[in-house]
């Protein structure tokens, strides 16, 4: 099963291209849709939220100010390193048998146990660092950990219920039943695209990517095997389940990750979803086109990912230009003090040109660039 997971990684096109999309937007500094409006508003007026926005919480009031007296980046990075290291080593240890090579240990590992060991090691390392650098006492660390358990209780409950549905679906033979119907109405070449769309719809409707995976996996994999008997198709279906679940989760206003992101950043939940939706849909459409091409041609998914990366670059530049031209603003949000920095004739210091405050929709007086 782990081998199937490894083979499915290049087919997880939405997730991989979403990471690439972040890099493209950051490096190009181009935005479109609601994010373009938000960027121009923040740079020109200093407001990071709309005037009538409803932030999920007042971060400064409820979480307190950042620790500026004794800041320690090691307290953030070290527990993450401990988590990864202990999890990987524990996985290899649980998969070890006399005479086993590295591949045997990887495929035979007990990853559930390894994640438990890694999680507890991470918590212990946090306790040690907090006590060492006099950030929190042992009692405060324990209280914080318990509070964290409480925050995760809702997400864990959703996962348990979703896994329960998955077990019921598997026991009822739903996968085989759907496969029998799909054989007569569905072209196998279209199956990965259909799974992508179905998983995206379920994740969008339920707000949980993990729950979607638990529900769709025991149905989609038997369908793929009954239709094709092809291990590569099964790997593609697994990748599409992951892609659709993450895509739907990114787009859903009731997603646990959307709610938590908005809560801990003090953002308006709907604004968070609206600004993210344009980018998620762009990547989702590209992933859908790529998997349709794969279903017909069986081109290497690595080649298709490279093509998808190029498509995303073109789309970001094209959509940002079109949207900015429609709004009469620049596609690259620039701080007011950086709008113009011409050198004087003698080669002196850069000159700054003041810019009037923008309207609420992000359009500055005087047309493109915000200058009369």
Residue range 293-306, pLDDT digits in tens: 999 999 999 999 99
User: Is the model's pLDDT at 334 over the cut of 80?
Assistant: no
* Predicted confidence (pLDDT) per residue in 152-162, tens digit: 776 677 667 76
pLDDT number for residue 73 = 83
Burial pattern 273-310, b for ≥16 Cβ within 10 A else e, equals bbbbbbbbebbbebbbbbbebbbeeeeebeebbeebbe
| Cβ–Cβ under 8 Å, residues 85 and 119 | no
Q: Could you report the per-residue pLDDT of 208-224, keeping only the tens digit for each?
A: 787 788 888 888 888 88
Residue 338: which H helix or E strand, with range?
A: none
Give which of 311, 219, 226, 233 is closest to 20, Cα–Cα: 311
The model's pLDDT over 87-120, given as tens digits with 9 standing for 90+, comes to 999 999 998 888 888 888 887 888 889 999 999 9
């Amino acid at each position: 099963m782990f081998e199937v997971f490894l083979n499915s990684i290049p087919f997880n096109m939405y997730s991989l291209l979403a990471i690439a999309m972040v890099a493209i937007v950051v490096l190009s500094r181009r935005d479109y849709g609601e994010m373009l409006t938000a960027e121009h508003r923040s740079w020109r007026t200093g407001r990071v939220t709309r005037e009538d926005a409803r932030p999920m919480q007042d971060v400064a009031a409820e979480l307190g100010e950042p620790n500026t007296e004794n800041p320690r980046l090691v307290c953030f990075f070290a527990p993450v390193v401990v988590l990864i290291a202990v999890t990987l080593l524990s996985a290899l240890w649980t998969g070890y048998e006399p005479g086993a090579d590295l591949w045997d240990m990887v495929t035979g590992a007990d990853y559930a146990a390894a994640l438990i060991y890694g999680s507890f090691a991470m918590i212990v390392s946090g306790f040690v660092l907090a006590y060492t650098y006099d950030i929190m006492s042992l009692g405060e660390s324990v209280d914080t950990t318990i509070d964290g358990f409480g925050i995760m209780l809702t997400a864990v409950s959703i996962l348990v219920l979703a896994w329960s549905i998955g077990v019921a679906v598997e026991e009822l033979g739903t996968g085989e039943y759907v496969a029998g119907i799909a054989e007569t109405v569905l072209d196998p070449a279209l199956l990965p695209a259909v799974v992508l769309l179905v998983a995206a719809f379920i994740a969008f409707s339920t707000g949980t990517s993990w729950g979607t995976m638990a529900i769709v996996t025991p149905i989609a994999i038997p369908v793929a095997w009954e239709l094709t008997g092809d291990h590569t198709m099964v790997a593609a279906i697994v990748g599409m389940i992951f892609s659709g679940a993450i895509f739907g989760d990114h787009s859903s206003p009731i997603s646990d990750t959307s709610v938590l992101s908005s809560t801990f950043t003090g953002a308006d939940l709907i604004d968070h979803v609206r600004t993210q939706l344009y980018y998620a849909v762009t990547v989702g459409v590209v992933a859908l086109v790529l998997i349709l091409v794969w279903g017909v041609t069986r081109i290497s998914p690595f080649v298709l990912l490279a093509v998808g990366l190029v498509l995303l670059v073109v789309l970001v530049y094209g959509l940002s230009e079109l949207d900015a031209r429609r709004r009469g603003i620049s596609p690259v949000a620039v701080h007011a003090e950086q709008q113009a920095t011409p050198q004087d004739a003698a080669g002196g210091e850069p000159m700054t040109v003041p810019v009037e405050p923008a309207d609420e929709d992000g359009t500055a007086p005087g047309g493109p660039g915000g200058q009369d």
